Amino acid sequence: MLSGQAETMQDRTAAEPTFVEGVRDCIPTLLGYISIGLAAGIVGAASHLSVLEVTLMSILVYAGASQFIICALLAVHTPASAIILTTFIVNLRHFLLSATLAPQFTRYSLWNNLGIGLLVTDESFGVAAGRIADGRPLNDRWMHGLNITAYLVWIVSCTIGALFGNWIADPEMFGLDYALTAMFIALLVLQLGSILPDKLNHILRLIVYMVIAMVVLSLFMSTQLAVILSTIIVATIGVVTER
């Protein structure tokens, strides 16, 4: 009986994913981190940020959309308070991503969970959510492997992009300012193919609502603020009306 319990414990330990597995599972997403990171670094350099400032922004902000927005706001001399508020609102989705994953890590300490939550991105959330959907186990070691790999690659990519940015005076000429938008469009198209018809109709209606809200709100406020308010309004509608 004791030997049977020992074998069960060994099997359970062997089934637990490792840090190295997390690193390996992150590899398919690295092309996205590298391409967007390079673009973010180049755009940052074009916004007159130094290589050190771009690197620090990638370390402390660690969000592609927010880093592009920060560079755009700096270029038009936006007050620091407005930049901070805008970045906070844009990054609010990370609370939802972390809250969704939180039930998988309840057995770990607060500091361990903070370390996991601080480095969750859209891509790492997608990898983890796919693993959950497949019924495979998650633990802190696997999640740290996934997150830390993505984090380090992002920092290096942004720094290299900033170094190259010194030789690219106009990144918009190469469409680099559109890189993040293009990535999210590609992700959306890939996800739409696996969505049920009734769910797809719901999503398409929300897209129409978003366009209408953007057009209407842009008549009364700046485009940047209209994007933020439209996102909040339509996201709320989506949550309330989703069946």
Distances 121 to 10, 48, 51, 69, 190 between C-alpha atoms, Å: 33, 27, 23, 17, 18
Domain ranges for the chain: 16-192, 195-243
What pLDDT, on the 0 to 100 scale, is given for residue 9?
43
What pLDDT, on the 0 to 100 scale, is given for residue 156?
96
What pLDDT, on the 0 to 100 scale, is given for residue 178?
62
For residue 46, give the 3-state DSSP assignment: helix
What pLDDT, on the 0 to 100 scale, is given for residue 168?
66
Tell me the one-letter amino acid at 57: M
| pLDDT per residue as tens, the chain (243 positions) | 444 444 444 444 447 899 999 999 999 888 888 888 888 888 888 888 899 999 999 999 998 878 888 888 887 788 888 888 888 877 877 887 888 898 899 999 999 999 999 999 988 988 898 888 778 888 999 999 999 999 999 999 999 999 987 776 666 666 655 655 665 565 566 556 555 566 777 778 888 988 898 899 888 887 767 777 887 788 778 767 765
Per DSSP, helices labelled H in the chain are 2-15, 19-26, 30-46, 51-60, 64-75, 80-90, 93-101, 110-118, 122-133, 140-165, 179-192, 197-218, 223-241
Output DSSP code: residue 40.
Answer: H
What pLDDT, on the 0 to 100 scale, is given for residue 91?
82
